[in-house]
Amino acid sequence: MKEVIIPQLIKKKSSIAVITPAGRVEKGQLDKSLEIISSKGYNPILGPHVYSQYTQGYDYGGTVQERLSDLQWALDGDFDAIWTTRGGYGCAQLLPYINLEKFRKKVKYLIGYSDATVLQSFLLKQGFASIHGQSIKTASFGVSEETYNLLFDILEGEIPQYTLENNGFNKKGKAKAPLIGGNLAMIYSIMGSPYSYDFKNKILFIEDISEQFYALDRMLMNLELNGVFRKIKGLIVGGMTRMGNQETNKNYTQAFDPLAYEIIDQKLSAYDFPVIYGMPNGHIFDNQPLIIGRQVEIIVKDTAQIIFK
């Protein structure tokens, strides 16, 4: 992996480009978060197609050309950060066309999660860190005020450290390596492509939402068959939310589904690396940000620590 470039800190009155590279958003859905950004002293600037819509079996935030145009506008522009409005699906359609020539002259954090995972993988393959954290649209499960505060802390230069209570699925140990990962379905979707993460000697983070349990197993099998679990030095598991069938799963609304955790634990039984379960990041109310590409140390004892370097 190339040496990772950490974007420069941002200052008050900095401009933040707001884009919709995947699923569509409607007017009014961003207002609350945009007000928070402004109240913190920053200037959110909406992309020309942020509220566009294109339907082809799915409601995209515009055509491929419109969404790519806004992404390239944000990458090229004199902005201090890029913040995605939501996930959904669509970012993978943009990957072959992204140009980073101007971005290299002014590197900035891209913030998002869920479908934005594929953009973060793309950026890291080119040597740039990003933030796997809350997007601007507030989902049905809401978002905590602390979530936004932690994001601004990172933008302003504070390095996050997390201490989590013991989880019964945790595997003790310690490891230090660059952090990769994000939404498991997105990692799975680009596996084997030129845009996939390089897993060797990394710490992997995964989270997901609304997947049937057999689909979770299928994605984990894909990682196993590709040798991912033989390559990584550690694993952090975040939210596994609304997993399984709503009609039959009594834990359907839980943020950290216990059956999903059991399935992951079984898949990892043959491997000897530290694992942290219950990281509050993903499709959950308290979506605490992680820095993709940054060196991180995980220490799993009676408690679990995640310490960025």
What pLDDT is stored for residue 247 in this prediction? Answer: 85
* Interatomic CA distance for residues 309 and 305, integer angstroms: 13
At 268, list the tokens. 């990892």
Give CA 172 to chain center in angstroms. Answer: 25
Active-site residue, from 33, 49, 196, 207: 207
Q: State the pLDDT at residue 99.
A: 98
Please report the pLDDT score of residue 128 as a whole number: 98
- The reply to whether 49 belongs to the active site is no
What pLDDT score does 155 carry? 96
pLDDT digits (tens, 9 = 90+) for 228-267: 999 999 999 999 999 998 888 888 888 999 999 999 999 9
Residue 180 and residue 197 in contact, taking contact as beta carbons nearer than 8 Å: yes
Other beta carbons less than 10 A from residue 251's beta carbon: 15
The whole-number pLDDT of residue 154 equals 97
- Residue 114 catalytic? yes
Among 33, 52, 69, 114, the one annotated catalytic: 114
pLDDT at 1: 62
Q: What is the mean pLDDT of each run of 10 residues along the chain (309 residues)?
A: 88 96 96 95 98 98 98 98 98 98 97 98 98 90 90 95 97 98 98 97 98 98 98 98 89 92 97 98 96 98 97
Dump the DSSP string for 11-25.
-TT-EEEEE--SB--
Spatial distance between the Cα atoms of 88 and 25, rounded to a whole number of angstroms: 10
- For 161-308, CATH gives 3.50.30.60
Q: How far apart are the first and last CA of the chain?
A: 17
Where are the extended beta strands (E) located within the chain? 15-19, 43-46, 54-55, 59-60, 81-84, 109-112, 130-132, 161-164, 173-183, 203-209, 234-241, 275-277, 290-292, 295-300, 304-308
Q: What pLDDT is attached to residue 248?
A: 83
Report the predicted TM-score, pTM, of the whole model to 2 decimal places.
Answer: 0.97
- Topology adopted by domain 15-155: Rossmann fold (3.40.50)
Alpha carbon distance 210, 241 (integer Å): 6
Q: Is 33 annotated as catalytic?
A: no
Domain layout of the chain by residue ranges? 15-155, 161-308
